[in-house]
Structure 1
Amino acid sequence: MAKKLPADERRAQLLEAALAIAAEQGVDALTMRPLAAAAGTSLGIVHYHFHDKDTLLTQLAETQILQVNEAMQLAFGHYTDSAGLTGTPALEDLLRAGMRGLWPIIESTPNHQLLTYEITAHALRQRSAGNVSAGAIAERQYRTMDAQAVAFLTLCARRANVNWTTPVDQVARFALTCMNGVVLRWLVDRDSDAALIALDDIVQILTTKAS
């Protein structure tokens, strides 16, 4: 018999088990019955927390994004010295610290990074097949990423005492588009040196969008 846990703890446990299954075996392998077995609980409890697979994938995508953001904020929080820089040079330094601080997390979790793309592709395929609610997974996934990116860019600008001359939501969209490409290319060739150079190039471009 499954141990009775508070609802929030049980939900977190289920998401952790779901992440392990999907990262190792792919989205198709993530169904309710294997999830219940992996979490050591009943199928009824799984359905209580997640009405269907689409609901589960939505929560899983958001959990991944927030975990990555927390790791980047932690790395950024350790950054305290701008070496006397101010203005846009300080912004460039701050952006580089945050983005390079994120890279070790990406390197250590390739299956989780691949899962992010897989969830997006799954949602878009479902939308093309007429499943509008499933397609909303990708939209919500990107809204979450946009919000986290806007918060990070706003913090960097405030610390550097600069203003974004391009609306910050557009800057965030551009930055995420570039980052997605860098990570996907790295998943193909695992060339971390080239990826870090690309990140520095992104930082330089972003800096031109502030004054």
Structure 2
Amino acid sequence: MLDLLYPPHFHARVLPGSELDRAANLLVSWLVHAEALLTRRDIQLAAAHNKVKHGLAVRPRNDLRIDMFENDPASGGLEAPVSAMQNSIPVIDRPSVLFLSRPPRAEDSPRECLELTLLRVDLPSVLAETYMLATVHAAVFHTAARRYEGLGTDAIGIPPFPTLPLGPTPEQLLGKAVTGLRSPVTFRPEGPQASGGPG
């Protein structure tokens, strides 16, 4: 993995427990996180990206809050008193994006129903996540460019190797926060039985 992340002249300085070793482990954890963003099957993050990029079947929301309650907060009605929110568990408590998509499927499985997905967007976390992934990207491409050309940075104009942060890890940044909620809005084309699990 060091060959992917660090130029050869760094390798001798990567000793167990050193800052370069800890930074390499951090970069690897963000590489694994990037792969999970592209391949996860519980929620369609790639579809969300495309919908937002093209402005198709997408709606931003800044007026929505969804909480879970341990006990029924409403005494006989559908409205809950404000005091019930003190013991609630926030699920969607940030700006969000609503979009339509079909869940991912295996090649031999039937098409699924259309789903409405509510994606929680925690802006500080998104910016920090973007910074960490950009740092990994810069390290990988600097290392690849140095290896490919075999020349110094000044000779071919390769951008400098990025400053490596020592944190946070994806787990430290994102924790167990809810990514989003999915709900079907149509039946599957082959019939009403949907095989997809909850998001």
TM-score normalised over the length of structure 2? 0.26
Structure index of larger Rg? 2
TM-score normalised over the length of structure 1? 0.25
Structure of higher RCO (CA pairs closer than 8 Å, 6+ residues apart): 2
Larger proportion of helix: 1
Larger proportion of strand: 2
